[in-house]
Amino acid sequence: MQRRARDVLIGSAVIGVPMMAINVLLTIVAFNRFETFDSVLGDHGYVGAQSGFILVALAVQSLTAHLIGAYCATYLVRYQMGGNPRMRDCLLAVLKRLPLLLVTWALTHWWALLLDLWVITADVSGLALLFWVVPALASLLGACFLFVTPVMMGEQLGLRSIGRAMRLVRTRFGAGFGFMWACGVLSVLLFSFIAFLPALAKTTGLVTFGPYTWLVQGISSQLALLVVLPFTAIATAQFYLQVRVHAEGLDVSMAADRAFGAAK
């Protein structure tokens, strides 16, 4: 990100801003206008109107992370392989594989939506248990599908990327599980620092947002995601390359190809 910040952040924003605009809209509806929808939909469903909008917003955020991960994986793999990637080419690569990305997201993130639903519908007494169970379970399941996007964009295996990614992470599963925790903690800290800047500014008394405090807070949270998501995606793609180096000797294979020519 330091060397290619412009391409990484702007390219991620091209994907993320439209998705996050939808997310902001859903957040506004969920937290400020759900009474209107509640009267239409009723409050007797399993999820309820407000919880349903929150779940949809989380799903949009998850899909956004998946697409930004595809863009960053494409860019970083090409860069680390000695190329000079261009933002336009990497965006076109993501657009070309958009249907496959939607399918792989659905196949590998359904469990995250179930966990989100579990947290949203849990009562106060159940949240204490979820505080310990959800992070561990999410790290375990997330590690299983950690390399799906880098494999799809770097090795172009289509739906076979899921099986290939699971076999690859199995060679270093402990490291993958630890990576999920470390990356999660760093992402939360970075997100919190950026997202709560308006609240911090308000406490000083120098800036007041009046009745639009909730809107400013929501926008700052989405801006924080525009930094956190590329950071996480690049870290994941870099970890994917490192695992291939240690588990499969990727660097040796590349050196041999340069010296003797690529195998036919």
Distance CA 145, CA 27 (A): 28
Q: How far is Cα 1 from Cα 228, in angstroms, rounded to an integer?
A: 11
Supply 139's token pair: 């790290």
DSSP H helical ranges for 87-212: 87-96, 98-121, 124-144, 148-155, 160-170, 173-195, 197-204
User: Number of H helices and number of E strands within the chain?
Assistant: 12, 0
- What digits encode the pLDDT tens for the residues 226-240? 889 999 999 999 999
Assess contact for 151 and 161: CB atoms under 8 A.
Answer: yes
The average pLDDT across 53-69 equals 83
CA dist 173 and 183 (Å) reads 15
Listed residue (59, 56, 57, 66) closest to 12, CA to CA: 66
Two tokens, residue 70: 């595809």
User: Cα torsion for 240, 246, 251, 257, to the nearest 10°?
Assistant: -100
- The position carrying tokens 């402990």 is 174
Q: What percent of the chain has pLDDT over 70?
A: 78
0.75 cut: is pTM over it?
yes
In whole angstroms, what separates CA 125 from the centre of its chain? 29
Q: How many Å apart are CA 126 and CA 119, to the nearest integer?
A: 9
Best CA proximity match to 102, nearest among 59, 134, 136: 59
Domain ranges (residues) in the chain: 5-260
Q: What is the pLDDT of residues 103-151, one digit of tens each?
A: 999 999 888 888 877 777 766 666 666 777 788 888 888 889 999 999 9
For the segment 234-251, the average pLDDT, to the nearest whole number, is 85
Lowest-confidence pick of 102-111, 193-202, 246-255: 246-255
Whole-angstrom CA distances from 73 to 46, 84, 194, 203 are: 38, 14, 24, 39
CA distance 39 to 17: 31
The predicted structure's pLDDT at residue 254: 57
Given a contact cutoff of 8 angstroms between Cβ atoms, the answer to whether 228 and 191 are in contact is yes
What is the Cα–Cα distance from 79 to 101, expressed in whole angstroms? 21
